[in-house]
Structure formats: structure tokens, C-alpha cells
Structure 1
């Protein structure tokens, strides 16, 4: 199908292997249903109602009303919102930024077998990041936090709405994700001491990608391994009762 290179598919298949087998076992009752999903025009059929969560959507929309602006002189809050940092620990200054792969600005090597070493670099990866299929170098995020700590000393609180990890989802590991949470949390504590910081999950926080299993599935598919790490790292900003949920 030529969707992605071998090293990408190999990593994703390994990551999704057990989850995929569990879903197939629970959802598909016979081979004809699998045929109906994979092959267009197959005689098999797939009962979509047994595999889709139908969510009730309220009918209609409320009438639009313009927001009422607060009066001048009223108390205000200054909030910093950080989203989708996507830090790539493999980012290399000078690496090819136009590599033709799903992610660039990375070194050639065993971990990224699709990135072939080139005699000449067409678009070298910059020190602070590069437009294209490249994620954020760590130095960019640290410099960002340094700048914020100097220019915005009056923050009331910070919201970080997830996706700390890079887009290299074929190489995700639980240990790597846990370390990224620890690293980013401690970086923010260093540069924003005394300020409450509230994190949220992003779809790239799970291993494999996008896999947040419902509570009624087997424990092995749950995200407790990450929730525990987050509770430890974020406990300074959370009430005690929230750490048990």
C-alpha cells in the first residue's frame, strides 16, 4: 500500500499488536466480518452498530449572544496556555529537514532506518526548529521557558494541554513517555517556581498512540502506568483526593 516505510510499520505493528488482537477478538465474531472491514465489495458484512459508540447529540443550538466584557478595573487573571510541544529528543541540528519521511531533522541510524545518510543536505535542520516534518528540539522548549520566566513574572497559573511527546509514534515506549513527563514537569518547576501548573492528557501520551482503554477492559490495556507517574510529578498542584481518581 506504500503508506509508510518498513521501519515505521514495524514499530507500529509491534506497539498495536496486543491491543489489535484484543479488539478483533471482542468485536469480530467470524471471519466474514473481518473480510467486510478490509475488502471493499467482500461478501462479508460488518455490523457497525456493535463496534461504534453512538453518542447522543443535543438537538439544536442555543441562540448566539455576544459575551459581556468585564468592566475596566475588575480583577483579571493572566494565564499561560502551552499546547502540543511535541519534543523530539532525536532532533539534530544540521540533519536533513526535507527527508521525504514521516519525520525529519533526525539522524540516520538503526533506530531510524528509513533516514538515509546523504552526502549533501538540502535543507539543514535549524538550531531552534525547522518548518516541515520536524518536531521541537528540547533547547527550543527550554529557551521558551527561560523567556517566559523573565517576561511574564505575573502569571496566575499555567495550563499545559498535552502532547509532550514527538510524532515518532513507531518508537513509543512507556518508559520514554514517563521520562518525558518527568523532564518537562521539572523544567517548568525550575523556571516557573511557585506558579500552579495544570496538565492534561494528549492523544500522544498513550502507548500505543490514541489508546485510552475504557475501564471495563483488562488492566493490561489501561494507562495506570502513566497516571501514576503524572500523580507523582503533579502532586504539588493537585488536591489529595484527586490523586486517587
Structure 2
């Protein structure tokens, strides 16, 4: 694929370097390549969000990401085998500490029975959740030895297991590991044997177990969609593989792949016109892993629709952190937040985790913004020692960080506190 792409790209070597690496010699201007057209409708006056009144309804949203289920995981196998993925029957021998039953902190992914144990745990408490967000990366990390059939098999097995245990609305997005080869997501104009339709058609069939049939056309085109969760709240799932700097197909044409950001702008304008709030979900957070031109355009969109976009949710990094957005004209004024949640996989040196987001609930003047979040983990060491996996609360964000609310202004104050408070920084870093 790479040979084909490099042979056909219209970009010079310097442009390719600047686009992908971003620190090549000479200046690189992401605005040079393309710019999403924003509507002529003036940006409405910004009213800073207010925390909900005591006793206001709260919606609880389950967040799952980066499950990376390994169907060939084998307890007792080598967990440090010198390859990109270990803990498998065919892993090279040599580790004095073999893989545990429920997973391993080293170069290993999630056993199928660990995934099932998590879903059994969530099934017992699913009445607490209004809906779930599932932000992709289903297959394991054996990226050198995957076929299209392997990826579709993983998609079907994990999706069927989720359907078996969770009887709540689920809104998925696409990870970078779902394709074969990994990170390979050709835009819609690529047809024939290199087309991505083998995956998107399968996603359209699977995802419409949870999303309206009306989403099928956009999923088949580009694996993105928009749904009305309830009156006043819209959820938009974007395909961030069209920003990913390891998706080499973008070198053929970096201009708004699949027209997704222009479509996103249209969706947000329609939501603004209707008085809807919007949650955006995706796999890869905007920023360091995205092409600069894409991120710059995405920031412009968030900046324009800061009063409509109430929250953003991403995965991909396997870590627990956030991104804070600032006014593009006044860089000291925080405008929005992207929450990046933990992974189910332990890869690498992680406890399996999931998150629950508490959202300002369903009532006429709801801000639909995040009001709190709780992160849950399974202590893998304990699970392997006792053979009794337990999923428990790791921390409550407002309690752990002593935050009165979770508006962009509050997160900006938190960042300032991190700069001065060493103990708080250590708590956050852990």
C-alpha cells in the first residue's frame, strides 16, 4: 500500500515530511492545505455554563474503549517475548514470569474471558446507565499478522458479547486497529480491491443494532454518523482515522477526507438552529496524533460552536487525561474540554478500566455538560492471585481533585493548580 500511495501522492517530499512529522526544516503552515467553510451565521454571544442546581437530574453514561480482545491469549505463555504482542501460545519462550489468567501488564492484550467478566459486572449495574459510548479498537496488537477476516471476526465476537450482556443504547466509533493493515483507511474515492467498504459495510450492519437505520448511509460512506439521543441532546460520532498521521492514504488527498468536517459543521449548525446541545465522540483525540491541518480545522469548528458542543469523548491513548480548548482569539479563555478515558486492555502496564460520566440531566434548561466522572479498574495483580476479578472505583474526579464543578473554567484552574501543587500533580499523574 505504501509504495502505491507514495507513487501517487501529489505532495513533494518536503510537504510529506511537514505534514506527517511536522518538525522538518522550514516552516509548516497547516492553513496552507485546506480550510473548512464555516457558515455565514454569526457566532451567538457566549454565555459561560453554570453548574446545575442541587438536586437537578443527572444522566450516567458508560464509557468503554480500547478493549483489544486477544482470542489467542494463553495463561502461562511468555508475557515478555520480544514481539509487539505476547501472552499467546505461539509467543517465543524465555520469560521467567508467565502470563496470568486474567491478563498481564506487559506486552499482552485482553483475554476473551476478562472481557466477558467485565460485561457480566456491567450487566448487573446497567440500570444505572442511560446509554454507553464505545470508542473503538477491538482487535489485538498482532498488527504484523492480521487479515480482513481476522478483524471482522473480532468485530462480530465482541459486538455479539456486548449485545448479549448490555441492554442499553450504545453509540460506537471506529478505532485505528479495526482495519487490515492497521491504520489503513482509504477515503471514499478509493475503490476496487483497496476500498475500505469491506469494513464500513460490516460496521453499518453491526452498529445499526444500536443506531437508527438512517445512520447506515453515512457509516457505509465514512464510518461517521449523527443521532438524537433525546430531545435537546445530539451525539455525533466522527471517524478520526481521517486525521491520523499514520493513515498513509491521506497523502493522496489530505483535504477534509470523506468531507467529514464539512459535514460536522453542517450538523452543528443545524443543532445550533434547533437549540440542541451536542456530544462528540471519536477514537483518536485531536492534536499530536492527527495531521496538523485537520486538527486546526477541528479547533476552528469547536471554537465557532463552543456554545453547542457540550462535551467531547475520546480513547486511543489507553490513558486517563483530558484536552482543554481555548478561544482562538483570546488564548487565556477556556472554551471546551475533550475527555480521554482509560482502556480495557492492559497494554502496556495498565489495569483494565472503564469510566462513568455524569452529565447534566434531562430537564428543560440542562447544559448537557459533564458534572462529574468516576473511573473504575480491575486490580490485575489481585485478580491473578485470587482468581476473583473485582471491578471497583479507583477515583471520583471531583473528590480526588477537589473541584467544585467541571466547566472549562474549572479545568483551567485545575491546570494552574497542577503547575504549583506537586502533590496534586503526583495524584493526577498516577
* CA distance, structure 2, for counterparts of residue 124 and residue 47 of structure 1: 46
Matched with 1:222 is: 195
Change (3 A) 1:116 1:185: closer
CA deviation after TM superposition for structure 1 residue 49, in Å: 6.1
* CA distance, structure 1, for counterparts of residue 57 and residue 15 of structure 2: 52
Conserved 8 A contact 2:147-2:180: yes
Matched with 2:165 is: 191
RMSD of aligned residue pairs (Cα, Å): 2.6
173, 196, 203: which one aligns with 2:147: 173
Matched with 1:236 is: 209
Please state whether the residue corresponding to 1:78 is helix, strand or coil: strand
97, 104, 116: which one aligns with 2:92: 116
Conserved 8 A contact 2:126-2:166: no
Q: Is 1:103 aligned with 2:85? A: yes
Matched with 2:110 is: 136
Change (3 A) 1:69 1:129: same
* CA distance, structure 1, for counterparts of residue 97 and residue 187 of structure 2: 44
CA deviation after TM superposition for structure 1 residue 93, in Å: 0.3
Please state whether the residue corresponding to 1:189 is helix, strand or coil: helix
Conserved 8 A contact 2:59-2:130: yes
73, 78, 101: which one aligns with 1:91: 73
88, 97, 100: which one aligns with 1:126: 100
Q: Is 1:213 aligned with 2:186? A: yes
**How many positions carry a matched residue from both structures?**
197
Matched with 2:58 is: 76
Change (3 A) 1:94 1:26: same
Change (3 A) 1:223 1:234: same
CA deviation after TM superposition for structure 1 residue 91, in Å: 0.8
* CA distance, structure 2, for counterparts of residue 102 and residue 25 of structure 1: 29
Please state whether the residue corresponding to 1:169 is helix, strand or coil: coil
Conserved 8 A contact 2:208-2:215: no
Conserved 8 A contact 2:62-2:133: yes
TM-score normalised by length of structure 2:
0.42
127, 139, 142: which one aligns with 1:153: 127
CA deviation after TM superposition for structure 1 residue 56, in Å: 5.4
TM-score normalised by length of structure 1:
0.72
Deviation per residue, 1:151-200 (Å, 9 max, x gap): 3422111111000111111111111111111111111111112x111111
* CA distance, structure 2, for counterparts of residue 55 and residue 203 of structure 1: 23
Change (3 A) 1:107 1:73: same
Higher share of residues assigned strand: 2
Conserved 8 A contact 1:149-1:192: yes
Conserved 8 A contact 1:88-1:165: yes
* CA distance, structure 2, for counterparts of residue 66 and residue 127 of structure 1: 49
CA deviation after TM superposition for structure 1 residue 80, in Å: 0.5
* CA distance, structure 2, for counterparts of residue 167 and residue 67 of structure 1: 41
Matched with 1:8 is: none
* CA distance, structure 1, for counterparts of residue 153 and residue 108 of structure 2: 21
